[in-house]
A and B are shown apart, each in its own frame.
Chain A
Amino acid sequence: MDELRAALAIAKKDIRNVSRYRFSVASSIFTPLYQGVLPGLLFGASFAVGGKAVGLDKTIGTADLAGFIFMGGVISGLVATAFWAMAMSFRNEMEMGTLEPTWLTPTARETLVIGRALGGMFWFVFSTTAIFIVGVAFFGLRLRAEMLYAVPAILIAIVAMVGVAYLIAGVVLSIRDANLFVDCANFLFSVASGAAFPILLLPGVLQPIAYALPTTYAMDILRQQALGTRPLVDPAVEYLALIASTIVLIPIGLWAYRRADGRIRRLGTINQY
């Protein structure tokens, strides 16, 4: 119960912190729109024949370009939340000098990630909702009620991403140039999940990595339900793979995080970056 209170307190603190920077909040909505959605839509539309995305239809089984891009944005946003809000925030606390006092509290170290996950999820839901509203109003995005069938897959993927966040937080606590690492790793994770294009287009050597990521299956299930795209494999198998990869990722992430915790306490590097 105490750990739950601590997690909620961390989430509340994170939500309050972000809400104080309104330009940042607005930027979290508009930056994906003008740097990702708009160029993606115009690039995709430049292949359209008679106003229809025939090429996309051939690739994934739907010509709904806006839906394809916006649904990809959901998984990109989820991955970014795990990498930046859950994991990279440890480095931000390091820089502010507040990580060491936090480490001295009796709260379990694992709870620190859970609290950040709750805070991050709040902003993820907020910005995704706002982006969808803008999408429906200005970019021809049509939301089908069937997309709600993908909610269980997204919830499982969120749990999986907490495991990934533990893993990345372990790395962030251990290396000096965390910003470059998180930036590059976040990008690759998102791409390998199929957020920008179907993973079948990845070079063969990278496809096994894509199939090992829980977000790949969450992405595919979401697009199937929301857009009616062709599934990568049987949807039941996708759910199984999603659950299995989540079960594997949590202990791996916890192991890496605890190891990093032990290392920084032994070496006294908690304030070094």
Chain B
Amino acid sequence: MNLALAAGDLRALGAAGRMSFRTLRRYPANFVGQIFWPVMLPAVWVLMGQAYSGGGDREAIDAFAARSGTSGVTVFVFVGYAMYMWLSTLLWGPGTALRQEQIRGSLEAVFLTPVSRLVPLFGPTLTNIVWVLFQLLVMGLAVWLLFGVVLPLQGILLTLLVTFAGLPAMYAMGSLFGAAVLRFGEVGPAVQFVRGGLSLLCGITFPIVMLPAWAQTTSAAMPPTYIVAAIRDVLLKGATPLDLGPTAASLAVLAVAFGAVAIVLFRVLEASARRSGMFGRY
């Protein structure tokens, strides 16, 4: 009986993934933004880096390398912005999926089905990987074609490995945000605030050592910090799969922690909603 229920939930999870994939295909104009921003945002920061370094002044570049561990400003920035784009698609997509269902009036209907509540919580995250991989491809091409940086093959493969290792933690974080925003209501400002905060904390545009000590401690509890650092290590310092072990372990712990908090928060909200009938209101 339990196996039959689990199989049913898995089918529903697959259906939720197909639904979000179909929605994604219906708005092809979004692809324009998914090419424009992953190229233009980091490109501008690379040029800012050239301005701040005096066009590659040795002293300035050495100072940057002492703080970031690398003199490869271009790849440093592009990797950071890969995470920024991932956060954007995560927070605007799966992070707001429950809220979108609520606005469309379909959230109550979904909750009347007998599937596990985890299906609507985690289902929309399944197609997010399409954007993440697409953006990585676009940015890899941009860094090569615009700035002449050829990424090492082993680094590219390990970047994909790090991305997949980071998926559960990132999605757990996105689901926590999705559950929280359901209660908070205002999606746009919440996305801006959370994305802005994580961008500052996780070393996206500047080395983490530039932050005060308390902020560095906070950043250690955020999955993007580990993913960004690991991708920079494999692309810029030639880190091997063995070197990535501690990162994978940290990400696994954070996935469990964020996932558990998301599930608990979602259950609390659901119980509250059953009493107040708030799922139909926004």
Question: Chain A: residues with CB nearer than 8 A to chain B?
Answer: 23, 27, 31, 34-35, 38-40, 42-49, 53-60, 65, 177, 180, 183-184, 187-188, 191, 196-198, 201-202
Contacts and interface: CB of A to CB of B under 8 A. Distances in A.
Contacts of B207: 46
B52 A27 contact: no
User: For the complex, would chain A's binding face be called helix, strand, loop or mixed by DSSP majority?
Assistant: helix
A23 B206 CA distance: 28
Contacts of A60: 51
- Looking at B51, B54, B67, B211, the one whose CB has the most chain A CB atoms below 10 A away is B51
A46 B68 contact: yes
List the 6 shortest-distance A-B pairs measured between CB atoms, nearest first. Answer: A58-B54, A55-B54, A55-B60, A197-B51, A55-B53, A42-B206
Give the interface SS of chain B, mostly helix, strand, loop or mixed: helix
Contact of A56 (B44, B54, B61): B54
Nearest to B29: A177
Interface string B25-58: 0000100110010001000110111111111010
Contacts of B36: 184
Given A27-B192, A49-B63, A188 B40 contact: yes
Contacts of B204: 39
18 contacts: A23-B186, A31-B196, A34-B196, A38-B200, A39-B204, A39-B206, A43-B49, A46-B67, A49-B60, A54-B54, A55-B57, A55-B59, A58-B55, A65-B52, A191-B44, A196-B44, A197-B48, A201-B51
A34 B51 contact: no
Given A23-B186, A56-B52, A59-B55, A46 B47 contact: no
Contacts of A39: 199-200, 204-206
B47 A180 contact: no
Contacts, number: 106
Contacts of B55: 55, 58-59, 201
Contacts of A45: 206, 210
Contacts of B211: 42
A191 B55 CA distance: 18
Given A39-B200, A180-B29, A57 B192 contact: no
Contact of A59 (B51, B59, B61, B63): B51
B265 to A, nearest CB: 23
B53 A47 contact: yes
Nearest to B146: A203
Given A47-B49, A49-B63, A184-B36, A42 B189 contact: no
B92 interface: no
B21 interface: no
Contact of B63 (A38, A40, A47): A47
A54 B53 CA distance: 7
A58 to B, nearest CB: 3
B64 interface: yes
Contacts of B61: 47
A34 B200 contact: yes
Contact of A46 (B29, B197, B210): B210
